[in-house]
């Protein structure tokens, strides 16, 4: 199979492979627990090794290498080595130009991402070190041919710190595809009646707002009205006590799609934690592509892009009463929708659209 694009990702997830365009080789540097082991049998999915990298770079049809984004600092060090290798090949093969691109979604403020905790007791020195790191990282960003930002929040985060660098780098914002799931088919986002189920996808951690969600669940009175909260946790739960109406399951990837096709609401109430902020929030995207109503917080980088989306309810992060009100609103809207057509939302961009933009004719940078 001709290799048009090479994608190097920090972790192997089922969703990453599902959205992959044709003619792509994917090299992963680690494997997440929610990844289907069958993915390892796919010929286009390989662990990252320098041998596998060089083999993919030698493909005569290769046009693009996608590396990790600059604010993923550990992966960016590896990415810079890949960039150096690609640029060396440009010198050795001047007639064959392979472009270098990244898809950026980091939503944590650059100053916090580049802070030096060891210098907390010396704030002046810490601030100077962070400024220096910002300049160095901005210079390294110039090594990219193109950047696509997955959310407006990520774009604004980079623009505030690296505006001088972005003005010299081709870039745009392409938010994720939010129409029908490509795995389940075009009919999945229709308005058929849904089960009285709220889904929480992923590990029930504090940064994902699970503690706030269980508090809000009890305040909402949803269980008394026949609703249930299903936690689809790849780890299978930790034996914690759960409120009435709440259960934890460990479904296969196909079962996750089935849950999304039948559930009425997806909850993703992320809260900010030191060193972390929700970037996009895959449960949010998957919920919308399956026609679910989504209750989330303003912490996700997609918040500004989704304020007018008819299926999205934004709530105050860390506030159980705001979340309870949001749950009640989403459940009431789901019940009132009946079997009519679901309201149309923003379609967004597929991974294929992102790759096409990277490979398109150069245009002036935005902003």
Query: CB–CB of 23/43 below 8 Å?
Result: no
Query: Domain of 274: which CATH number?
Result: 3.40.50.2000
**Same domain flag for 195 and 164:** no
Split into its structural domains, the chain has a count of 2
Structural domain of residue 289, as residue ranges?
186-337
What is the average per-residue pLDDT within 70-95?
A: 90
**Same domain flag for 214 and 296:** yes
pLDDT in tens, 167-199: 999 999 999 988 778 778 766 666 567 899 999
Whole-angstrom distance, CA of residue 178 vs CA of residue 189: 10
Whole-angstrom distance, CA of residue 184 vs CA of residue 215: 33
Query: Domain of 75: which CATH number?
Result: 3.40.50
**Same domain flag for 234 and 151:** no
Element (H, E) at 131: helix 123-141
Question: pLDDT averaged over the chain?
Answer: 87
Q: What percent of the chain has pLDDT over 70?
A: 88
**Same domain flag for 227 and 95:** no
* Residue 344 belongs to a domain: no
Residue 365 DSSP label: P
Q: What percent of the chain has pLDDT over 90?
A: 60
Q: Is the pLDDT of residue 326 over 90?
A: yes
**Same domain flag for 43 and 121:** yes
**Same domain flag for 87 and 233:** no
**Same domain flag for 156 and 246:** no
What is the per-residue pLDDT for 340?
43
């Amino acid at each position: 199979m001709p290799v048009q694009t090479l994608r190097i990702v920090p972790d192997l997830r089922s969703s990453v492979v599902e959205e992959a365009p044709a003619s792509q080789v994917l090299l992963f540097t680690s494997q997440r627990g929610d990844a289907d082991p069958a993915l390892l049998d796919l010929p286009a999915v390989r662990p990252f090794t320098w041998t596998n990298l060089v083999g993919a770079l030698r493909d005569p049809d290769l046009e693009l290498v996608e590396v990790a984004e600059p604010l993923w600092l550990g992966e960016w060090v590896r990415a810079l080595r890949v960039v150096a290798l690609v640029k060396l090949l440009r010198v050795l093969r001047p007639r064959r130009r392979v472009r270098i691109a990244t898809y950026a979604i980091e939503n944590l403020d650059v100053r916090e991402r580049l802070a030096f905790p060891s210098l907390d007791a010396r704030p002046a020195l810490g601030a100077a070190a962070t400024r220096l790191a910002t300049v160095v990282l901005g210079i390294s960003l110039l090594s990219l041919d193109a950047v696509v930002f997955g959310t407006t929040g990520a774009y604004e985060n980079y623009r505030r710190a690296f505006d001088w660098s972005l003005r010299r780098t081709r870039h745009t914002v392409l938010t994720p595809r939010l129409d029908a799931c490509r795995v389940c088919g075009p009919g999945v986002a229709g308005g058929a009646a849904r089960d009285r189920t709220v889904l929480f996808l992923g590990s029930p951690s504090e940064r994902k707002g699970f503690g706030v969600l269980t508090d809000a669940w009890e305040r909402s009175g949803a269980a008394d009205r026949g609703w249930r909260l299903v936690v689809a946790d790849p780890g299978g739960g930790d034996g914690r006590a759960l409120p009435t109406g709440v259960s934890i399951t460990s479904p296969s990837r196909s079962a996750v799609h089935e849950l999304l096709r039948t559930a009425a609401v997806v909850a993703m109430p992320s809260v900010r934690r030191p060193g972390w902020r929700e970037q996009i929030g895959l449960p949010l995207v998957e919920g919308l592509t399956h026609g679910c109503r989504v209750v989330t917080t303003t912490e996700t980088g997609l918040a500004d892009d989704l304020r007018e989306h008819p299926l999205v309810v934004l709530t105050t992060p860390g506030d159980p009463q705001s979340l309870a009100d949001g749950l009640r609103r989403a459940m009431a809207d789901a019940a009132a929708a009946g079997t009519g057509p679901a309201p149309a939302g923003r379609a967004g961009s597929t991974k294929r659209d992102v790759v096409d933009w990277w490979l398109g004719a150069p245009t002036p940078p935005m902003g």
